[in-house]
Homo-oligomer: A and B are copies of this chain.
Amino acid sequence: MRTTLEGTGRTVLLSSEAPFVVIGERVNPSGKRGLAESLRRGDMSLVRQEALAQTKAGAHVIDVNVTAEGVDEETILPLAVQAVAEAVDAPICVDTADVRALAEALVVCPGKPLVNSVTGEASSLHAVLPLVKQRGCAVIGLCMDEDGIPGDASKRLEIAQKIVQAAQELGISKDNVVIDPLATTIGADSKAGLGTLLAIRSISEKLAVNTTMGGSNISFGLPERSLINRSFLPMVIAAGLTSAIVDPLDEEIRRAIAACDLLLGHDEFAEEFLQRFRGGW
């Protein structure tokens, strides 16, 4: 499993043999009133700021999402993608449920982006995968279908297989599909962490594709979310997870990921770990 993504000046590799890939989540107006307002005005200054701050903090890929009330995604998403591409040299993760906005954004996005996302629903597969094939990029496949997010790992593996197969039928290689098993919160179901862990393990081992997930869904609704998130990351990274969509400005997350790379033998002579330690993280 080797997925490469390209920005204007940087190639990022997702692989179980390489350091963990951090996809910065902050260019997203959800819960950020200031960013939502500036997007409605078509002002990209905050988008540029967030992209820069995240790459400085060590993000390898920048997720770009502009979904908010009053924002015309078809117009604004391409502008935001261009703004990020001008601000930083990292690959972009184009994040939208609007297929037309996705198509427009992929036209202006440089390099080889990651599309976020396709699901196992027939309508999603038919709408999104042809755009991915045409653009020659990679795509995140979410383990959900017409029946929602399944609780057990084997059903999530089935959906992942279905997405990979649909991609391959269109000529998209397995290396260009990154599966997100969709972590749900243990606040609602105490077996949810185990389900996600087993899904990542089986998808990594049996399907041999790269994987990603949101780094904080697992703790939703509970206290000590940072503790829970930074304890779950080592579990899932050791089980095969090769990237995550997280907030790279959260120092605890950065520290946990640096420790994971070190512990899994992806940081020879602890070079990166010691450099971050000496720089005060």
Question: A277: which B residues are within 8 A, CB to CB?
Answer: 223-224
In the assembly, how many copies of this chain are there? 2
> How does the 8 Å CB contact mask read for A249-273 relative to B, with 1 for contact and 0 for none?
0000001100110111101111001
**In whole Å, how far is A163's beta carbon from the nearest beta carbon of chain B?**
25
A231 at the interface (CB under 8 A from B): yes
With A235-B238, A255-B227 as given contacts, are A222 and B190 in contact (CB-CB < 8 Å)? Answer: no
A197 at the interface (CB under 8 A from B): yes
A214 at the interface (CB under 8 A from B): no
Question: A228: which B residues are within 8 A, CB to CB?
Answer: 259, 262-263
Extra pairs beyond A193-B265, A194-B265, A228-B263 (9, CB < 8 Å):
A186-B262, A194-B263, A197-B238, A197-B263, A222-B270, A222-B273, A224-B255, A227-B255, A231-B263
Some 13 contacts from A to B, beta carbons below 8 A apart, are A187-B270, A190-B265, A190-B269, A193-B264, A227-B255, A228-B263, A231-B259, A232-B234, A233-B234, A234-B234, A235-B235, A235-B263, A238-B238
